[in-house]
Amino acid sequence: MFQFFKNNHRQQPPGPSTPKMVDLYGAPLRVGDLVESMRYDLGVCKIVQGKQGLEYESVETGKRVLYVLMVDAATSFQKVKKIS
């Protein structure tokens, strides 16, 4: 009867320390890549390692946004387009 209230914590398999990121079209993203942001009016951004993890730094304004805020909920891809 009390199984309903029991916390079942599932362990996640160990993975790399940096998250695997892909752009809106599925192209892999890495630190140092230039991307075009689809959110927050950042324009062209560079992916950098910040104090709180991976961040997008705007080339034009210098504003930084965490990668977590750029995740598309429907596809789990980043809302950016990689610049070749």
**13-42: per-residue pLDDT in tens?**
444 454 578 888 889 999 999 999 988 989
Average pLDDT (47-76) is: 90
Average pLDDT (58-73) is: 90
Half-sphere exposure at residue 4, Cβ-oriented, CA atoms within 13 angstroms: 2
Burial tier of 65 (Cβ tally within 10 Å: 0-12, 13-18, 19+)? middle
Q: Which amino acid is at 56?
A: Y
pLDDT of residue 84: 78
Contact criterion met (CB below 8 Å) for 82 and 26 = no
Nearest to 34 by CA among 17, 46, 19: 46
